[in-house]
Amino acid sequence: EDGVWEGAWQIVGRLRAAGHAAYVVGGAVRDRMLGLSVDEVDIATSATPSEVLALFPEAVPTGAAYGTVTVLWGGKAYEVTTFRREVYPTADRHPVVVFGTSLEADLARRDFTINAMAMGPDGEVVDPFGGREDLRRGVVRAVGNPEERFREDPLRMVRAVRFAARFAFAVEERTWEALVLLRLELVRVARERILAEIEKLFRREGIGRGLALFDAAGLLAVVRAQLRAVAERLFPRLSPDLPRAVLVWVWEKFLGDPPGYPEGFFRLPWPRRVRRAVASLEADLAELSASPPLAGLPWPLVRAWAEGDEERAATLFSLLALLREAGAERDLVSLPQEALPLPERWADVRAHLGALPVPTYRDFPLELGEFLTRYGLRPGPWVRELRESLYRGVNAGRFPPDPAALEAEALRLAAHLGGQE
Ligand code: ATP
């Protein structure tokens, strides 16, 4: 059992011992049922914020207006929130929070059935909307009437897509219909809130599926138009796992140029370094289907490695892995399947490349400059081609990686490529 749960049950225990109702609620219950590790546990209680503060002297009232008190326990922070519901005066207003309701009302205000469950220390589950069953079936379903719920808070549409993408769930049919119907309502939601959800979507797995779902729902165009102005803030904060160039590429591919706008109109002023990396990515992608793979790997990737540019190779790998994930859902980019022969992890690709007879140009047993001088050959752009052909030949096993064999082959190629006087 994670330490975070241990602390949660102790907090719940203390609240209950004082005569209050208390449960773990929301995402932690969902993730625990899915067998995922949990690092944030939220607790809901009938105790008022001041009652909570009285029981936990070191607690901090972090969201007094929302009834939230943060309790530090075992080095972890727990949000303890008084049962509440929100009242939506009109859709574009901030909801009014009402305290002093029941656990059931607190669960009913939550967005999706899978997020609307509570759990006690003995594993007892309160699940009034069939969240457990939806988890089992892999369904994101609005609590109550989906149209009403999306009108109340249109951000829930983005959240529906986010959870579907994250767990590879389906969006339940009526929920999906409401989403498609109401998608334009999203323009009323504060950009920062949308951004926070999209950032989570981008950071975790499922980015390809997420974008495909956004697109299918017609949300992409809405989000795109809205988020342009804050995009600069999004990207620097994104996961360090993905190369920035990949994120920019994805952004521009899917969010960049809405139909009807001139090409490049929505391009953001990314730093030069990033710009260049994106341009390299584009060039490598364009070349994917033009050159046959080497040693089972896409040629542009191998070439970047051969040139000693591991970053470029790894960036292309990340993007291809991402595209493969997306392609499984829908044909997001037109790449021939055979252009994507990829191992699962970059570490495997690296090992594979490192084990080639001649991994990089620097490892050539033949020094090309010397070779040219010795035979009175004129240097020029053709030498690049020569080097590539030698590299491909030796690594495809067409001749052994020794200086004599390479030299013989280089002479043959030189005649062919026209490097002679
Ligand atoms: P994640 O781990 O992906 O952030 P989460 O479920 O913890 O998932 P939060 O955004 O932290 O997501 O929200 C916590 C809980 O609050 C949710 O599980 C849900 O019950 C409720 N909730 C959050 N946002 C909304 C909303 N816009 N409308 C209704 N309920 C919401």
Position 307 scores a pLDDT of 96
| Residue 336 reports pLDDT greater than 90 | no
In terms of pLDDT, which residue wins out, 390 or 263? 390
pLDDT grade, residue 296 (50/70/90)? confident
Q: Are residues 18 and 88 part of one domain? A: yes
CATH number of the domain encompassing residue 215: 1.10.3090.10
Q: Are residues 197 and 67 part of one domain? A: no
Contact 256 CB / ligand 1 (< 6 Å): no
Q: Is residue 287 part of a domain?
A: yes
Q: Are residues 72 and 15 part of one domain? A: yes
Q: Are residues 375 and 331 part of one domain? A: no
Q: Is residue 328 part of a domain?
A: yes
Considering only CA atoms, which residue is closest to atom 28 of ligand 1?
A: 111
The alpha-carbon radius of gyration of the chain (Å, integer) is: 28
420: DSSP letter? -
Contact 110 CB / ligand 1 (< 6 Å): yes
pLDDT grade, residue 180 (50/70/90)? confident
Residue 31 CA: nearest ligand 1 atom is: 2
Q: Are residues 19 and 87 part of one domain? A: yes
Q: Which of 178-192, 227-241, 381-395 has the lowest mean pLDDT?
A: 227-241
Q: Are residues 168 and 64 part of one domain? A: no
Torsion angle (degrees, nearest 10) of CA 371, 375, 379, 382: -80
Q: With CA atoms as reference, report the closest residue to 301 among 243, 330, 342, 265.
A: 342
**Any residues with CB less than 8 A from the CB of 327 and at least 6 apart, and which?**
208, 333, 335, 340
CATH number of the domain encompassing residue 76: 3.30.460.10
Q: Is residue 332 part of a domain?
A: yes
Considering only CA atoms, which residue is closest to atom 6 of ligand 1?
A: 27
Q: Are residues 284 and 154 part of one domain? A: no
Q: Is residue 369 part of a domain?
A: yes
**Mutational pocket test of ligand 1: of 66, 88, 110, the residue with most ligand atoms within 8 Å of the beta carbon:** 110
| Residue 61 reports pLDDT greater than 80 | yes
Most confident of 25-34, 165-174, 184-193: 25-34
Half-sphere exposure of residue 231: CA atoms within 13 angstroms, side-chain side: 22
Q: With CA atoms as reference, report the closest residue to 110 among 81, 89, 136.
A: 81
Per residue in 36-56, pLDDT tens? 999 899 999 999 999 999 999
Position 331 scores a pLDDT of 40
Point out the domain boundary residue: 122, 137, 152. Answer: 137
In terms of pLDDT, which residue wins out, 88 or 61? 61
Portion of the chain with pLDDT greater than 70, in percent: 77
**Mutational pocket test of ligand 1: of 39, 41, 115, the residue with most ligand atoms within 8 Å of the beta carbon:** 115
What mean pLDDT comes out for the span 184-207? 70
Position 273 scores a pLDDT of 85
Q: Is residue 216 part of a domain?
A: yes
Q: Are residues 373 and 304 part of one domain? A: no
Residue 200 CA: nearest ligand 1 atom is: 3
Considering only CA atoms, which residue is closest to atom 30 of ligand 1?
A: 110
Amino acid making up residue 54: A
Q: What is the ipTM of this complex?
A: 0.98
Point out the domain boundary residue: 323, 355, 387. Answer: 355
Portion of the chain with pLDDT greater than 90, in percent: 53
Contact 111 CB / ligand 1 (< 6 Å): yes
Task: Please work out, in degrees rounded to the nearest 5, the angle formed at the alpha carbon of residue 13 by the alpha carbons of 10 and 16.
Answer: 155
Neighbours of 7 (CB within 10 A): 19
Per residue in 97-150, pLDDT tens? 788 789 999 999 999 999 999 999 999 999 999 999 999 999 999 999 999 999
Contact 131 CB / ligand 1 (< 6 Å): no
**Any residues with CB less than 8 A from the CB of 187 and at least 6 apart, and which?**
222, 226
323 Cα–ligand 1 center, Å: 28
Position 231 scores a pLDDT of 45
Q: Is residue 228 part of a domain?
A: yes
In angstroms, the CA 191 to CA 33 distance is: 32
Q: Are residues 78 and 8 part of one domain? A: yes
Domain assignment of residue 345, given as a range? 264-355
Q: Are residues 336 and 366 part of one domain? A: no
Residue 197 CA: nearest ligand 1 atom is: 10
Q: Are residues 184 and 218 part of one domain? A: yes
Q: Are residues 109 and 151 part of one domain? A: no
Provide the residue count of the chain: 421
| Residue 234 reports pLDDT greater than 80 | no
What mean pLDDT comes out for the span 273-291? 86
Point out the domain boundary residue: 182, 210, 241. Answer: 241
Q: Is residue 254 part of a domain?
A: no
Domain count within the chain? 4
Position 230 scores a pLDDT of 42
**β-pairing, 118-119 with 125-126?**
antiparallel
| Residue 385 reports pLDDT greater than 90 | yes
Q: Is residue 374 part of a domain?
A: yes
CA separation, residue 357 to residues 157, 179, 310, 384, 399 (Å): 53, 55, 18, 19, 10
Position 243 scores a pLDDT of 78
CA separation, residue 145 to residues 138, 176, 214 (Å): 19, 12, 21
